[in-house]
Structure formats: C-alpha cells, structure tokens
Structure 1
C-alpha cells in the first residue's frame, strides 16, 4: 500500500499539472535509464547542500519494498556514487518499518533517508527526529538549470508533508485513488461505469445475475476501501466535512454524508455483492482475484498496475475511475477524485549523514530519476515533465483521462489518516467491521466519533489543524 499525504483543504489546479506531467513524446530525449548525469553532476556550481556533504561519509537509504519495488532506486544511488565515489552507499529494504526502524530511532542510528510507509511521521516530527526540508526546496534542481527543486515540482508537492506549516516529508509520486475495472469486460456486457450509488447498486444486481462478483477489496487492509468511502461523502457534503473530521470537531463523524456513504458500502456487503471471502483476503490476493476476472470492481491507488505485474492479462484494459457520488444534490461533481502528491521520503535528523540524504533526495527529485521511476513502476511522479517521451500503459492513460476530467477537483487524502495513527487504525477497523456486517452504518459513525473524541482528549497526542 502506498503512503498518503495530509489533506490540505484546497483542491489543486490539475489541468496545468497534467499538461506538464504527461505532455507526450519529446524529440531527442535520451532513455532515462541510460542517460548521463546532467546539471549539478555534470559540473554545475556546487550547491549549498552539496557543499556540506562529506564525500567519504557512508550513506544509507531505506526503501519500502512494496508496490514500487526497489529497482527504481538504482539510478539515483548510482548518480550519488558517481558524484561521491569515496562514499559507501547502502540500500536496505523492508516492509515492516515500525518494527525495523523504530528501535533504530531510539538507539540513535536511523537510516539517513527513508521511504516511509508505516512510521508515524507526526510523532517523529514531535520528537525532532525528522529534518526540515525547506533548504531542499530552495536548492538548485539536479538536472534543470536555472530552477530550484521547488520550481520543478507539480502543484501541491511543495505544500504536502507539512506539520504546523513546516516541511518535513517529501512526496515523490502523484497518486490517484479510485475504483478500478476492466473496460473490455464492461464493454462485453454492455455495462456503463456507474456515476452514482443508485446506479452502482443497480449494476451490481446485473453483474451478480451474470455470474460474477461485483466487488472485492483488500479485506485485511480496509483502509483501501475507506478512501473511496470518504470520497463519496466529500462529494456529497463538500470539503468542509473533511476539515471538521481532521480538526477533531465534535460530531464531525456523525455528518449525514458520512453515514450515507457508509450505508452504500454496507449495502454492497449486505446484498451479497462482495466476492466470497473478501474480508479475509490480503491486498495481493484480492488484487490477483480481481485481475483474474473473479470480481468486477476493486478500490486501489495508482500503484495497482505495478504491484500486479505479470498477473494482469495483456488485454485486460485496466481502467481507473472516480468513486461514486451519493446523489444529484452532491456539492462536488462525479469527476472529483482523491489524489495528488503521495509517497513520503524522510531525512532522519539524527542520522549519521543527513546532508548526504538531502543530496540524494535532490537527485531522486531530478527529472532523470523520476522519468526512470515512471518507466519502471508505471506510476506518475511529482516532477514536471517526468513522463515525457514514455509510452503510457492503458492504466496510466486512464489515470491521465480521469485527472484531466477532474480539473481543479483533485483532493488529497484526509489529514487525520497521517496525523493520528490510532485514529487511522480505528477507521480501518471500523470499516472492516462495517463490511463484515458486524456494525451498522450508524454504529460505524458512532465508533468513529468515539475514537475521534478520545484522540481530541488525549493530552499525549500532538494536535494539528487546518
């Protein structure tokens, strides 16, 4: 699962973003994996960051070996080695970051740069364990002469990962969380992707009558389903419902839009529209069954294609779509989506080589490295033009279409999911219980409000607001 970034409360203008990120072929571009270092690495003046890097200091990058894998790290690490040949550069990987890295933070020897999925960033910020990144934003871009790092980023990337206004986490991907389906499968049956929940429930009945399971999801990780559920509520009520939830306001989770969104997802389970055994499936199991055609719809982020790999048939036609709206009275259009800058790279403040980590992060955010990332992972990045010259898969093409259609209505994930880990777990558990029919929608709403109230009253938890 990919990490999510705080909801800023403001939709980001995305028409310009997509025009820059997916501008199409550019004549004469060198293949990303074969290009020589440009800009700084080719002899440009030393930057304020590189001036403080000890060329012989060891450097460790901890990679989350999940949906994006680790092959993408080879190029930026090699570029670092080329510039600092005396440095011993080490890549370590894992999937259980709390268990693997929290002891190292306590012991005072964390990795220098961390691709974070699972660590409580808010707590690390409060403990002064994470380095502030403003100097990185103002540094010269690695391979775009005349521009700072910030000037090469797509809208929203410089603002994501802030706590009390200060930049501590750097996104590197551009995420889209939505509902996925096989377009050839829908076309074969003459089905249209539903825009409202009334249409979805009606289609589910036809899908089941055709002998297929309408839905599956990553049952052991209900957060995959929470994201579109919250998006349906956001469409109905507008962004203020997310602000109230994130700010831990009394009765925020009791809003009728949240209850109604929970009701519609509960209806999928109650009417037998889930693939049998879904609630016990891991993310890889559910996604594999979906790719095998055993279910029609699955919620997921933009990493789905890469995570599935060769499991997906070549003619499957992976297609992304927005979550359903609740009614014609929704305050946001159907085309509104959950997405924006995602992923999270952290520089450990008390690591042995944080300045080297900043330099590696500057290299990662180069157009060269991010184009290589897109080529290998089939995922978009936060760097402008990083998809130029690349052939886009059907999945990436569909994401481009969805983002273009959304226009300014692209909304990052709700901030409570990043700020308050216990509340995040409570929401995952409650959604899992909702889909297992152990909670009614009203009970789901009450459980979430109780969890939010406990968080608000817990003096040991640092509070954030927007």
Structure 2
C-alpha cells in the first residue's frame, strides 16, 4: 500500500474492527448494492526550506470559490500511472478544475516512480501541487508529515461541497475516509478510492470446472489440489513488485484468526505484535501454499505478467484489490469474468467470520504545503470529490471512490459487482496503516513475504524478522511515530 524526525504523537483513526451494520452502511453509501451489469497503498522526505516566495496567496472567496483560490494561478498535478492509469485526470478531473478557473493553466503528468521522480523536488522545495502518492515506489507519508511537507487538509474538509453548499466536504465521504488519512490528529492525506481486498478468480472457469468457493482452509487446499491436477497453477503473485499483495492476504488471515486488534498492535509497534500466534499461524498456512501450490518463477515477475497468466487461465487464484479488473481490461478475454472470494478461515476457531475482509479507502492524494498553489491543490481535490468527479473516476477506472452515493444508478462490471456483494455480506471490515506510516517496515515485509512464500522461509523466521524490524523502528528516535 504503501507506505523521520523526532516528535512522536498520536493519530486518531477509525476503529479497526467494523460491525456488520457499519459495513452495510458503507456498502449502501457507496452504491455497492446496485443491481450488477456487465462492464466495472517512501524513503525519507527530508528537505524543506521556507515557503516559496512565489507561492500563490490566493484570491477572493466566494460561493463558487470557498477556499479563495487565485483563479489565474497555475496548478501542477502528478498522477501515479498504475492500475487506474491517468485518463481519469486528463479527461475528467483536470477539465473540471479548468472549467471552474478558465484562466488557470493546469499541467498534468504521470509516472510509475513517484518517489524517484518527486522526492528530489520535495527535498529541493519545488514540489508539484497535487500528487497521487501511490504504487510500489511511493514517497514515505510519515516522513513527509514529519518534515512539514504536506498541507493540512482541514480547510478542504470543512469547506462546502461542490454539490451542496450546506454540506461540508467531510460529510460527503464514506465513514473512516478522513481518519485513515489522519496523522497526529491532522488530516494530511485524501484516500480517494474505496478498495475491497480478497482472492480473485475467473468465475466462468470455476463454473465450467465445477469448482466451488472455499470457506475453510481444508476446502481451500483441497481446491488447490484439484486445480493443480487440472494443469493450472493454483495460486500465485508477482514477487518482483507486488509482494504486498500477498502480505495483505497473510495479514488478513492473521486478523481473522486473532481479531482485528492484531493489525492495530502491528501499527502501534507493540512489543511482540509480529510474533503473536495468530501471525505465526497465518504465515505457516501461506508458506505451505507457496511451497505446494505456486510457481517459484513468479518471484521474478511483475504484477501484470502474473495477471496476464491468470487472464489466460494459467493461474487460478490471485490476491489483489478491486483495481485488478480495470488494470487488465485490455487483455481480459470474453471467457473471463473477474470475481472475488473472501480469504478462507485458517482455523476452526478464528475470531472473525469467514465473510470478514480487508476494505478501506486508499490511493492517497496529497497537497504539497510548499508547492506554488496549495489552495488550488485543495480545490482540485474538492472538485474530485464532487459527485461528477467521483462518477467520472468510476467510469474511467471501473473502481469506486470514497464519495457517498457517487455510484448510484451506475452499472457495475462483474468484478465490481462481486466485490460489492462480498462487502455487503461481510460481518467485519478491517485495515492496517503501518505500510503508510513506516516505509521501511513495508519494504521489509515485502522481502520477508517473498522469502516465506517462494524461498522456503519458515513462519517463525518471518515473524522474528518482522518483529526485529518493528523493534528497530520503535527504538529509532529519528522516526516520527503514529498511533491508533
């Protein structure tokens, strides 16, 4: 997912374990219960310097310009060019801003290497105004916050929404969206996309083979055995750049076994959080899957290479979020219908029901505090958060935003329909944040996961390795600490 100096503090975030009523409320708010139809998270950010002398001081506030943006000030936007591409920005969001401020020149660019492209600019005091800080090579959110590089988005969240001047922007968002982007009690990150994570498969293939979706680990491994016998790689992920897809699966299993507080304790760098029995059991279960039911060559492949194998029915089950369908739309044959299953229960005494899943607002957008036009950056986000902006994003990407009811009346593709169904049935939804808070812990977890899954690692070694890294970060006074 995703993703420092001293001054530890406490960030207030949403309760990690959400009851069924809240999950259903979210699903309904997102329009996830609509009738389906075919077609649907880093390195140190040190640097700084004073506020640029050429930074826009803004313009007159009005009903149409509540943030007081200078209508002629230029704006620069940089988008991560991953599963969502950047068409949603070039075709929809940039024009929305330009329509509101026709005298403003908006420059948009995209890259798959956010950190490599933009870290020198943040360090040098010349950052772009808006950044979709995502992908494998994202900038460290925690370090950016600790170095005062990010704009506090409170003004944006308290501003009137584009669609209803009597409703604040914050009140148009799905529950928990603001909290997930909050660091040390201040909102610095706008997580724009609502993601449901699980195990993806071809529903048409499963139907043709008579394979049923498993709910227990015994059923899961039995299915893996059947798939292997059919000459198809049962399970896999891309080790070269998407190991976090698999550690999401591992930590989902850990949360189901021991409860969502397992993830909260990991986030909070609690002593022994990674060596908890629930994490060990999850790691052991997935290590066996890697040993018995995957392909070691996947360690050297990138995500789209492995995903293409799945599109060609050479791979049956793949861990991912619901960005997957859109990312592969150009190579997905008519014989393939994306569907998602919750990760099966590992034990017969899991604390969370098998329906429970990882679901949270993601894809973090930031506004540079030391950019040339921070007010314009916040206004750009305000336009994105309009119903029009959110619907346009869903149209372009086949994915949902964190804007309430924005997808009402829209037709959903097979994959989005499946994820909506999974979310509506989930008794609990949960998430973690260490990947955004501590980049080095995310990096370590990717490497440790690859070792566990592809290179014969053990559950004990995985847990000890991760605990050692967490302990080192906890003891490092140069790293800003966060808590939930």
Tell me the TM-score normalized by structure 1.
0.92
Would you say 1:256 and 2:274 are equivalent positions? no
Q: CA deviation at 1:104?
A: 0.5
1:23, CA displacement in angstroms? 6.3
Is residue 2:383 matched to residue 1:366? no
Q: What secondary structure is seen at the aligned counterpart in 1 of 2:256?
A: helix
> How many angstroms does 1:196 deviate by?
2.1
1:156 equivalent in alignment to 2:165: no
CA distance in 2 between counterparts of 1:310 and 1:106 reads: 38
Partner of 1:34: none
Displacement after TM superposition at 1:387 (Å): 1.1
Report deviation, 1:276: 5.1
Which residue pairs with 1:36 in the alignment?
Answer: none
Rounded to whole Å, the distance in 2 between the matches of 1:165 and 1:147 is 22
Matches within 5 A, 1:421-432: 421-432=439-450
Query: 2: distance between equivalents of 1:401 and 1:24?
Result: 7
Give, in whole Å, the separation in 2 of the partners of 1:283 and 1:433. 17
Find the partner of 1:11 among 14, 17, 29.
17
Q: CA deviation at 1:424?
A: 0.7
SS in 1 for 2:190: coil
Give distance in 2, aligned partners of 1:188 and 1:284.
25
CA distance in 2 between partners of 1:8 and 1:322 (Å): 22
* Pairing partner for 2:71 from 55, 75, 79: 55
Select 1:67's aligned residue among 64, 71, 83. Answer: 83
Partner of 1:410: 429
Aligned: 1:388 with 2:408:
yes
Q: Deviations over 1:302-360 (max 9, x none)?
A: 10011112211123121011112211201100011111111111010000000011111
1:6 touches 1:161 (CA, 8 Å); kept in 2? no
Aligned partners of 1:7 and 1:98: how far apart in 2? 25
Query: Match of 1:287?
Result: 307
Q: Distance in 1 between matches of 2:279 and 2:92?
A: 44
1:270: which partner in 2? 291
Secondary structure of the residue aligned to 1:391 is coil
Following superposition, the deviation at residue 145 of structure 1 comes to 4.2
Report if aligned partners of 2:127, 2:371 keep a CA contact under 8 Å in 1.
yes
Measure, in 2, the Cα distance between the counterparts of 1:380 and 1:339: 12
Query: 3-state DSSP class of the match of 1:385?
Result: coil
Instruction: Report the CA distance between 1:187 and its aligned residue.
Output: 1.7
Aligned pair partner of 1:242 in 263, 266, 273: 263
Distance 1:168 1:378 in 2: 26
Offset from partner CA, 1:31-76 (integer Å, 9 cap, x none): xxxxxxxxxxxx9824430xx2111111001111111111101222
Question: What residue number does 2:369 align with?
Answer: 349
User: Once the two structures are superposed, what CA deviation does each residue of 1:267-307 show, in whole Å capped at 9, x if it has no partner?
Assistant: 11222x11351111100101110111001100011100111
CA distance, structure 2, for counterparts of residue 208 and residue 384 of structure 1: 42
SS at match of 2:145: helix
CA positional deviation for 1:192? 1.2
Does the Cα contact within 8 Å between 1:279 and 1:435 map onto a contact in 2?
no
Deviation at 1:8, TM superposition (A): 4.0
165, 170, 193: which one aligns with 2:190: 170
**Residues 172 and 344 of structure 1 are in contact (CA less than 8 Å); yes or no, is this contact kept in structure 2?**
yes
Spell out structure 1 runs of 4+ moving beyond 6 A. 4-7, 23-26
Aligned partners of 1:266 and 1:437 also within 8 Å: no
Contact 1:24 1:390 (C-alpha < 8 Å) held by counterparts? no
RMSD: 1.9
User: Which residue in 1 is equivalent to 2:129?
Assistant: 112
Alignment partner of 2:211 out of 182, 187, 191: 191
5+ residue gaps, structure 1, are 27-42
The 3-state SS of whatever aligns with 1:310 is coil
* 1:437 Cα offset (Å): 2.7
Q: Does 1:332 align with 2:352?
A: yes
Contact 1:97 / 1:119 at 8 angstroms: preserved in 2? yes
CA contact (8 A) 2:296 2:454 kept: no
Aligned match of 1:455: 473
Looking at structure 2, the residues matched to 314 and 434 of structure 1 have their Cα atoms a distance apart, in angstroms, of 35
Moved more, 235-244 or 423-432: 235-244
